[in-house]
Amino acid sequence: MKKHLFSLYLIFICQVVYGQTDTSFFFTRVKQDSSKLKLNMDAVYNRPFLQMGKLPVSLGGYLEANSSYFSTDGVSDGLSFQLPRLTMFMSASIRQRIKFMTEIEFEEGGREINIEFAALDLEFNPLFNLRGGVIMNPIGSFNQNHDGPKWEFVSRPVSSTTIIPSTWSNVGFGVFGKYSRKNWVWAYEAYLSNGFDDNIINNNQNRTWFPASKANGDRFEESFNGVPLKTIKMALKHRKIAEIGISWMGGVYNKFKDDGIILDKKRHLNFIALDINSTILKDTYLNGEWVWAYVDVPDTYIQQFGNRQQGGFLDIVQPIKKGKMLGWSESVLNIALRLEYADYNVGNFQELGLRIADHMYALVPAISFRPSAQTVIRANYRYERHTDLLRNPASQTAGFQFGFSTYF
Amino acid sequence: MNRRLLIFTIILEAILIVSCERITPSVPADDQILDGPIDGLSSAEKTRFLAGDAAFNDEIFTRETGLGSVFVATSCGSCHAGDGKGTLFTTLTRFGQTDETGNKFLHLGGPQLQNRAIPGYTPESIPAGATFSRFTPPSNTGLGFIELVSDEDILAMADPSDIDKDGISGVPNYSTLPSFINALPNAVPKNGKYIHRFGKKAAAYSLLHQTVNAYSQDIGISSAFAPNDVYSGQEIDPEISNLTINNVVFYLQTLKAPIQRDQNDTQVQQGKQTFIDLGCQGCHKQTLKTGLSPIAALSNKAFHPYTDLLLHDMGSGLDDGYTEGSAKTAEWRTPPLWGLGLSPNSQGGQYFLMHDGRARSIEQAIEMHGGEAGASRDRFKKLAQGEQADLIKFLKSL
């Protein structure tokens, strides 16, 4: 028995040693089919996977590592280093037209571990697929298309993480489909899932804060109030022009009934998002998203918790050199600019009649270098202005970020 | 090209790293902001200041940490942006007391209206028959100095019978101490009551008294000092530690005093002389001094708050029909003028002056002065336009 074990061990070690010099020994990289008209909704499968032999399981993942130096009104905590996320994903073709895919994310050095996606897809027709499990609600484009290596910027867009609380996923079921003809493709998605909870107006941010619901681990087990969150998206794309998407997500966020006793009226929240991406002037890439959020906050609650939010971003990415650079044959050097805005409290003070502020602007020029399509090394300068509720002089934050993100 | 690109990238990165502190926002000058500690604190005191700063400005209360159930604000910083004055949005309403015999509406939620509530609860409303007054939050700066003015010095500024016949007859606000406050050794009580000095009508004895009341009445947070829930009136477990409250008190004690700007400007100097000539100094005393303090940096210091910490009759125009302690309904404690020029930085770029923010400019605030200040107000109105401008510039330099 020990001899067998030793032999097995030797074989394993040899394979590991060999494997370290030739990664194709175990795995082959699954080529992405670039001829297909990919949409933001396809992002979950539109990733570089590694396949082992002829096994029907593919593996993948990505890593992000950064360093940053920021100063707010002249006060800085100095230079720091972050590992914001390590994500691993796995897909399996169970049978023809039955697929499973999961994405597990380790955030902030492992302090948070989240199942961001774990769904079974059954295709009856390209126009009609069923999906169930942990789904990523298709609100805007970033939520589904959030992989670090796809972006030229170190930070995620503020409006897409603090208004739409990307990555926002939940347990649910739904349908999706796609219809294409020549250069055109039209697609839709519609899901019912567990939703938000009343921590969006009961949190330590002192404002309506949708990400607060992400802290509720029970949301993968049960709905906070029994009313499903509904998400619907439609997207239209022309290969040579642009993709445009419109999406809505809405539901009830409060516990209006407990143990059969009515506690409050049903309080709704709604998100409407527009997203667009296009390549103009041959190779200038534009990508943007805008979201409006509406929440029924009780009139008797403090106005710091607003009932309307809005915000968005626009990324402009311009390749300035492509080809062989520094020994890499298919590398790209980009310059890029992100403009972003988030208003956390749209409206007027009841007492003053004046506009409420509580908003931020940011401007992020960037340089990125891609030695391959799967890896990006990026340097950003970020300038932000935050204005408080009362429109007092804005606090200014600025600094540098440097880091990389790569699929593996 | 590749080598050039590499060199360019390395140079660019080097420039970025070297220039980090040059192209990021600079620190505002000390005289442009209200927050920051007094000079001369020890390392241990600075650490305690930072702990109090975090509790005061960053701790947002939620239902789980004790907010409400009825409340006015969700944090200390909500009402004191940048440690400055508040606005009509953060106004407090107090009701139910018309004379020194006490508040007749304590059983109906007095003395303070909690006008907001967490979901599922109903906020308070002012009971029928109760008179009320609205108070905008004051700035927090320099309070540690004010706390250390001796009762003896306050009494020396008082002139209840207007013996000097200048029309000004300031009196201290005497009130009973809550059970958790010990009178200071040099206190000068009268009939078992003590001189209070903080608040629009000088209703708080010390910064501990003010802080405990604010947690309880503004945020609905119970403590070992004030264990009763504002909603039910029943005693509940403390929702905040004594350490946190003491750290906040220390923070308030050690926040620096506002620093005057443009002191060498001739217009400012002329305005200061006008201020004296008009008799404003009768109440807005320029210089006071502290006594001994366990915080060495506060001990035996002269400072310039422009207040006498006394109550003055401000006339019928400012009589709100509500009072606290021994103050009468038209009596208000002289507000310190230091920091006046920086008020708009915490009030959304505007002025909300007087006790309830009704004055939208310094000129309006002066014109609302009546009673004991009526003569000075009238003299101000008779000034030439240029002299008025000098005075306003001086006040904005404070």
pLDDT digit string, tens, across residues A141-199: 999 999 999 999 999 999 999 999 999 999 999 999 999 998 999 999 999 999 999 99
Report, as an integer, the average pLDDT of A329-343. 95
What token pair was written down for B36? 């920051």
**How much of chain B, in percent, has pLDDT values that exceed 70?**
95
Contact at CB, A72 and B13, closer than 8 angstroms: no
> In sequence order, what are the beta bridge partners of A385?
A361, A396
Whole-number mean pLDDT of chain B?
93
What is the phi/psi pair of residue B345, to 5°? Answer: -65, -20
- What beta strand segments (E) does A216-300 contain? 229-238, 242-252, 257-258, 261-262, 268-280, 284-295
Any chain A CB within 8 A of the CB of B6? Answer: yes
**What is d(CA A371, CA A332) in angstroms, rounded to the nearest whole number?**
6
pLDDT for the residue A12:
43
Q: Tell whether the model's pLDDT for residue A53 goes beyond 90.
A: no
Question: A316: distance to nearest CA of chain B, Å?
Answer: 21
Q: Tell whether the model's pLDDT for residue B3 goes beyond 70.
A: no
User: What would the pLDDT profile of A40-49 be if each residue is shown by its tens digit?
Assistant: 888 888 888 8
CA angle A363, A366, A367 (to 5 degrees): 170
Cα–Cα nearest to A207, from B53, B91, B78, B116: B78
Q: How confident is the model at residue A352 (pLDDT cuts 50, 70, 90)?
A: confident
pLDDT for the residue A243:
96
pLDDT for the residue A49:
87
Under 8 Å between Cβ of B280 and B366: no
**What is d(CA B392, CA B11) in angstroms, rounded to the nearest whole number?**
52
pTM: 0.90
Under 8 Å between Cβ of A170 and A117: no
Any chain A CB within 8 A of the CB of B243? Answer: no
Q: Tell whether the model's pLDDT for residue B22 goes beyond 80.
A: no
User: How many beta-carbon contacts under 8 Å exist across A and B?
Assistant: 119
pLDDT for the residue A13:
42
Q: How confident is the model at residue A29 (pLDDT cuts 50, 70, 90)?
A: confident
CA angle B369, A351, A162 (to 5 degrees): 135
User: What would the pLDDT profile of B214-256 be if each residue is shown by its tens digit?
Assistant: 999 999 999 999 999 999 999 999 999 999 999 999 999 999 9
Contact at CB, B348 and A367, closer than 8 angstroms: no
Whole-number mean pLDDT of chain A?
90
DSSP, collapsed to helix, strand or coil, labels residue B372 as helix
Contact at CB, A392 and B64, closer than 8 angstroms: no
**What is d(CA B128, CA B96) in angstroms, rounded to the nearest whole number?**
10
In angstroms, the Cα distances linking B301 to A33, B256, B289, B398 are 77, 13, 5, 18
- What beta strand segments (E) does chain B contain? 70-71, 92-95, 112-113, 116-117, 132-135, 173-175, 194-196, 288-289, 302-303, 311-313, 331-333
DSSP, collapsed to helix, strand or coil, labels residue B51 as helix
What token pair was written down for A12? 């394993």
Which residues of chain A have a CB within 8 Å of the CB of B348?
354, 357, 390-392
User: What would the pLDDT profile of A356-397 be if each residue is shown by its tens digit?
Assistant: 999 999 999 999 999 999 999 999 999 999 999 999 999 999
Under 8 Å between Cβ of A371 and A125: no
Mutate to test the interface with B, among A253, A265, A304 (most CBs of B within 10 A): A304
**What is d(CA B262, CA B265) in angstroms, rounded to the nearest whole number?**
5
Of the ranges A85-99, B15-29, B90-104, B163-177, which one carries the lowest mean pLDDT score?
Answer: B15-29
